[in-house]
Amino acid sequence: MPELPEITAYVHAIERRTLRQVLEAVRIRTPSLLKTFDPRASELEGRRLTSVRRVGKRIVFELEEEFLASST
């Protein structure tokens, strides 16, 4: 699993820059990045980022009351 150290580095970099910040806007560049339709992306705006972590090969962004998983 050589990709795991890279994903861990991404998590630490994202966490340092964004933890406890409020999500101002969501822009989805590619529909294949969107793995869920509930909640809608627009409903996430204004929520604070509470945690960033790795689950397997995915990066999970936890927001107030919701979480998002990102594919790699």
* Structural domains of the chain, ranges and CATH numbers in brackets: 3-70 (3.20.190.10)
* pTM of the complete model beyond 0.75: no
Rounded mean pLDDT for each run of 10 residues along the chain, 72 residues in total = 80 94 86 68 88 87 72 52
pLDDT of residue 71: 53
pLDDT of residue 35: 63
Tokens representing residue 58 in the block:
């995915």
